């Protein structure tokens, strides 16, 4: 039986590697395709558009970048047995290890941006060659390309601050362009996202969509596209965060409110606690409630070993691994989830740990098992291939962002506190004490609710920009130490660029 299992696993790995040739994750982000004779029919449009999504997903997934950028630095996790991870946690970003070199390199983001620019430049000529490719279809496709490009620039502005702006399509070698200021990059990203704002539908391939009522989009109905493509809610959610990062909280509130008010048009809903943490629940497959997300569909053979938080956090008995690469110490867990009745974690009247976020709480190392999608949702961890969705924004997240924006603006009508208490009640808690600072309570709830979803570091930056009561962190912001260094490879290939002075 052991021999048969070994053969099955080997064949599965082989089949996955073959499938990945056509999958999104494994698109070679360092290769710029010659565009001549490529743009002939609607199938070329679909393939090229999906390629942009694939490249963005690769930029976020490879080396588990999304979680390392967002959850590690000054975060709740520790990694005492994984030096390269612990160095990120401690802020030692100039380490010479390969992980740090790869994460300091922005090339994969520019591969996605260039693919978007190529689509914007060339896809229009398909309309002249293929009558199936209508002007409306093309406009919606271009809007997605612009939204993805704007999203990439927003991400890079948060990670590196000053980066070059590519507004043209390039074939051959990447160009040498000087970096623009963080404000200029954010403004460019905002304009690209706004250009898509009133073009994209709420649902693709859905006859009742008020923007683009068709039963098929690029050959598939809404069942295939829900939670996969950027829609109108996605762009509003990203703009809400871009404005919050820029300190424009009035605009952030408006965009976040749009998402919450129009969620029903995309059938987006809040995630029940039990659904959020089960292997076949919220993170198992793409759905409407993933406002900004990149799926790894098991049914489409897109599962992978890399690009999932499970690779870093799971261990025996959930998967065949003796200990997790990173974990949250039990003392810290208790201090974060310190209120009675919290279904995510609490200590009951008998002194017992009760949790659906953590496993093995009686052991030396608690396992963060909130997200645990192994293969097709199985509980068998003998072959740890993962297919969880990379969710960057969901209803609870955007609701708490709106509460944050309203609290910063004064919350004269008590809406922010109402939103906060709505989220708290859904997780088994009572209303937040009125005597407590509202902004502190909102960020404390984001810390609990969004743990392991790539938000902690960016939340810390926004929190400190608002409160301004931590001199060391304020100095880090002033010195641009909140950003990552630029990889030496990038600097050597473009002599117009200079290293962030904080990391020189």
pLDDT band for position 380 (cuts 50, 70, 90): confident
**pLDDT per position as a tens digit, 349-370:** 999 999 999 999 988 899 999 9
**Strand, coil or helix: what is 292?**
strand
**pLDDT per position as a tens digit, 154-173:** 999 999 999 999 999 988 77
Q: What is the mean pLDDT of residues 405-418?
A: 94
Instruction: Output 122 or 412, whichever has higher pLDDT.
Output: 122
**Strand, coil or helix: what is 81?**
coil
CB 287 within 8 A of CB 272: no
Instruction: Output the pLDDT for position 10.
Output: 35
* pTM for the structure as a whole: 0.93
b/e per residue 172-208 (b: at least 16 CB within 10 A): eebeebebbebeebbbbbbebbebbbebbbbbbbbee
Strand partners, 163: 180
**Strand, coil or helix: what is 47?**
helix
pLDDT band for position 439 (cuts 50, 70, 90): very high
Say if residue 313's pLDDT is above 60: yes
Instruction: Output the pLDDT for position 178.
Output: 97
Say if residue 37's pLDDT is above 70: no
pLDDT band for position 280 (cuts 50, 70, 90): very high
What Rg value do the Cα atoms of the chain yield, rounded?
Answer: 22
E strands, 388-455, in order = 390-394
CA distance 442 to 224: 35
Give the closest residue to 304 by CA, choosing from 93, 57, 3.
Answer: 57
CA distance 373 to 284: 6
Whether a cis peptide bond, with omega within 30° of 0, leads into 317 is: yes
CA distance 60 to 365: 27
Instruction: Output the pLDDT for position 378.
Output: 73
Instruction: Output the pLDDT for position 35.
Output: 60
Instruction: Output the pLDDT for position 244.
Output: 98
Kindly report the average pLDDT of the chain as a whole number: 92
| Poorest-pLDDT segment among 76-80, 384-388, 495-499 | 384-388
Instruction: Output the pLDDT for position 173.
Output: 77
pLDDT band for position 472 (cuts 50, 70, 90): very high
Q: Got the DSSP string for 157-225?
A: HHHTSSEE---S---SSPP--PEEPHHHHHHHHHHHHHHHHTTS-SSSSBTT-SSSB-S-BTTB-HHHH
CB 367 within 8 A of CB 452: no
Q: What percent of the chain has pLDDT over 70?
A: 93
Instruction: Output the pLDDT for position 12.
Output: 39
Q: What is the mean pLDDT of residues 403-417?
A: 95
Query: Hey, what are 67's tokens?
Result: 């979680």
Give the closest residue to 370 by CA, choosing from 351, 339, 391, 398.
Answer: 391
pLDDT band for position 375 (cuts 50, 70, 90): confident
Residue 390 CA: distances (Å) to CA of 137, 148, 193, 276: 27, 15, 21, 13
Residue 350 CA: distances (Å) to CA of 182, 353, 426: 52, 9, 24
Say if residue 13's pLDDT is above 80: no
Instruction: Output the pLDDT for position 438.
Output: 97
CA distance 327 to 26: 28
Angle at 488 between CA 483 and CA 491, to 5 degrees: 85
CA distance 360 to 317: 9
Q: Helix and strand tally (H, E) in the chain?
A: 21, 8
Q: What percent of the chain has pLDDT over 90?
A: 85
Instruction: Output the pLDDT for position 34.
Output: 53
Determine how many CB atoms are found less than 10 A away from the CB of residue 472. Answer: 7
CA distance 314 to 323: 8
């Amino acid at each position: 039986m052991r021999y048969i299992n070994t053969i099955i696993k080997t064949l599965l790995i082989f089949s996955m590697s073959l499938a990945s040739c056509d999958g999104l994750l494994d698109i070679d982000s360092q290769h710029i395709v010659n565009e001549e004779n490529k743009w002939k029919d609607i199938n070329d449009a679909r393939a090229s558009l999906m390629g942009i999504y694939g490249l963005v997903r690769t930029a976020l997934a490879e080396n588990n970048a999304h979680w390392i950028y967002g959850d590690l630095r000054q975060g709740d996790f520790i990694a005492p047995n994984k030096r390269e991870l612990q160095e990120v946690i401690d802020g030692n970003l100039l380490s010479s290890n390969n992980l740090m070199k790869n994460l300091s390199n922005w090339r994969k983001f520019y591969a996605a941006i260039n693919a978007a620019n190529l689509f914007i430049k060339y896809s229009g000529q398909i309309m002249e060659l293929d009558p199936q490719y209508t002007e409306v279809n093309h406009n919606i496709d271009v809007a997605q390309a612009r939204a993805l490009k704007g999203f990439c620039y927003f991400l890079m502005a948060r990670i590196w601050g000053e980066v070059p702006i590519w507004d043209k399509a390039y074939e051959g070698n990447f160009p040498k362009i000087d970096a623009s200021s963080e404000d200029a990059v954010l403004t460019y990203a905002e304009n690209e996202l706004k250009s898509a704002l009133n073009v994209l539908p709420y649902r693709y391939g859905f006859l009742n969509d008020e923007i683009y009522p068709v039963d098929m989009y690029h050959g598939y109905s809404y069942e295939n596209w829900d939670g996969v493509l950027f829609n109108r809610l996605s762009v509003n959610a990203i703009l809400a965060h871009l404005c919050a990062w820029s300190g424009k909280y009035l605009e952030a509130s408006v965009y976040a409110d749009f998402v919450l008010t129009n969620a029903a048009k995309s059938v987006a809903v809040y995630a029940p606690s039990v659904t959020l943490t089960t292997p076949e629940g919220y993170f198992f497959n793409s759905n409407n409630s993933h406002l900004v997300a990149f799926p790894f569909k098991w049914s489409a053979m897109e599962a992978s070993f890399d690009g999932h938080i499970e690779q870093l956090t799971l261990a025996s008995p959930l998967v065949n691994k003796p200990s997790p690469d990173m974990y949250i110490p039990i003392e810290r867990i208790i201090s974060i989830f310190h209120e009675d009745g919290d279904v995510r974690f609490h200590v009951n009247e008998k002194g017992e740990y009760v949790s659906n976020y953590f496993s093995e709480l009686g052991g030396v190392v608690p396992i963060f098992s909130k997200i645990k999608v192994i293969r097709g949702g199985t509980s068998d961890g003998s072959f740890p291939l993962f297919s969880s969705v990379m969710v960057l924004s969901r209803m609870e997240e955007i609701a708490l962002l709106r509460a944050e924006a309203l609290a910063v603006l004064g919350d004269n009508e008590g809406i922010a506190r109402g939103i906060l208490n709505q989220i708290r009640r859904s997780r088994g808690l009572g209303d937040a004490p009125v005597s407590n600072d509202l902004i502190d309570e909102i960020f404390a709830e984001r810390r609990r609710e969004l743990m392991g979803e790539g938000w902690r570091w960016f939340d810390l930056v926004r929190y400190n920009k608002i409160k301004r009561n931590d001199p060391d962190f304020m100095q880090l912001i002033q010195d641009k130490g909140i950003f990552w260094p630029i990889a030496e490879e990038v600097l050597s290939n473009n002599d117009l660029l200079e290293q962030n002075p904080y990391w020189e």
